Amino acid sequence: MIEMTIDGLDVQVEEGSSILDVAQFYGIPVPTLCHHDGLTDYGACRLCIVEIGKGDNTKLVSSCTYPAELGLFVRTNSKRVVEARKVLVELLLAMCPSSKTIQDLAAAMEVTKVRFKVEQGDCVLCGLCVRMCAEQMDAKAIGFVNRGKDRKITTPFDIKSDVCRTCGACIYICPACELRCQGPGPPGDVCGSCANVLPVCLEDEDDKMCFLGTCGWCYKELGRKKNKEKE
């Protein structure tokens, strides 16, 4: 067992576990996109970055690929981490704005606009499908091809692979395949996620259900209104 500190909590962890494993074990939320239990960690999406070290000597590392060390001092939600994550989500959104998973991540981090040039891509190169195919399906039918800006995921020679059993595991695990919700906000780069738009609150009608679920926005608004009335 190794002793380390995560978010001010002194913890004992098993040797060989990653910082992300530790965070998840102790119930500390760390957003991820390319991590999946049962697949090797790859560190592609960088969303799970955490700040390690103390004082001036800190650095950002991807927690899924960084092993737990003796005396490690980890902060999972410092200002630097949160700011960096927001930029990362914006970059992912610019790459693939049609993905529900990425839009949800953006909504959870309160990202409301994309400052980068938006490309209507359908892949963020997270490598989940490649790892799924190789590790769980033992097929290696798809993989990364080319490099740099031309990097993409495809089969050898762009033709139907002999080893592909069309099991569909790659589609099952793809975070970009599930399309985002198109309403109630107007379509744009950020989907108008329920957390980002002002919902049509039914504040005066108690017996109706809000179609947005429990976003809690109306309660906040009600609270603000009551405060104003008090003033």
Partner 1 sequence: MKKADIDKILKKYDYKKSSLISILQDLQVINRWLPQETLKYVSEKMDISLMDVYSLVTFYKSFSLKPRGKHIITACSGTACHVRGGPKVLSELENQLGITVGETTPDKNFTLETVRCLGACALGPLVVVDGKYYGQMNPKKVASTLKKYSKKK
137 touches partner 1 by CB under 8 A:
no
* Helix, strand and coil percent figures for the chain, each rounded to 5: 30, 15, 60
Task: Write the DSSP assignment of 143-207 as a string of letters.
Answer: EEES-GGG-EEE-GGGS--SS-----HHHHH-TTTSBPP--SSPPSSS---TTTS-----TT-TT
140 touches partner 1 by CB under 8 A:
yes
User: In angstroms, rounded to a whole number, what is the distance separating the alpha carbons of residues 31 and 43?
Assistant: 12
Binding footprint of partner 1, residue count (CB under 8 A): 14
- The 8-class DSSP code of residue 18 comes to B
User: In angstroms, rounded to a whole number, what is the distance separating the alpha carbons of residues 93 and 119?
Assistant: 9
Q: Name the segment binding partner 1 (CB under 8 A); options: 78-86, 160-168, 197-205, 222-230.
A: 160-168
Using CB under 8 A, pick the residue from 60, 145, 201, 212 that binds partner 1: 145
Q: Name the segment binding partner 1 (CB under 8 A); options: 7-15, 91-99, 150-158, 202-210.
A: 150-158
Q: Name the segment binding partner 1 (CB under 8 A); options: 144-152, 191-199, 200-208, 218-226.
A: 144-152
142 touches partner 1 by CB under 8 A:
yes
User: In angstroms, rounded to a whole number, what is the distance separating the alpha carbons of residues 100 and 115?
Assistant: 19
CB of 143 to partner 1, least distance (A): 4
Which CB, 52 or 153, lies closer to partner 1?
153
Instruction: Tell me which residues touch partner 1 (CB under 8 A).
Output: 140-147, 155-157, 161-163
